[in-house]
Amino acid sequence: MVRKKEFLYNWDDVPVIVDLPYAAWVLGVTPETVRKECCRGNIKAFKVADVYWRIRKDDLMAYTMGGGVSK
């Protein structure tokens, strides 16, 4: 696994698809908060094997920039 930097300076450094802990690091919240936002539909995400949440970088950017789900 790639070692995460202390701060995110550039969206180009973010992988195309991220997991909950990485998204939580980017947002500065806990993974549980990100999971709840995904369940509520506030962050557009998908599940892998019906267990693991994954979020596309574009959807994470849309959430942070606009505060909502990307269209």
Percentage of the chain modeled with pLDDT above 90: 54
Instruction: Look at residue 40 in the predicted model and tell me its pLDDT.
Output: 92
Instruction: Look at residue 71 in the predicted model and tell me its pLDDT.
Output: 43
Instruction: Look at residue 70 in the predicted model and tell me its pLDDT.
Output: 46
Q: What are phi and psi of 48, to 5 degrees?
A: -110, 125
Neighbours of 62 (CB within 10 A): 17
31-40 vs 20-27: helix axis angle to the nearest 10? 100
Residues 24-38: b if buried by 16+ CB within 10 A, e if exposed? bbbbeeebeebbebb
Q: Are 57 and 19 in contact (CB under 8 A)?
A: no
Which tens digits make up the pLDDT trace of 29-56?
Answer: 999 999 999 999 999 999 999 889 999 9
Read off the pLDDT band of 3 (50, 70, 90). Answer: low
Q: Which two tokens stand for residue 7?
A: 């701060």
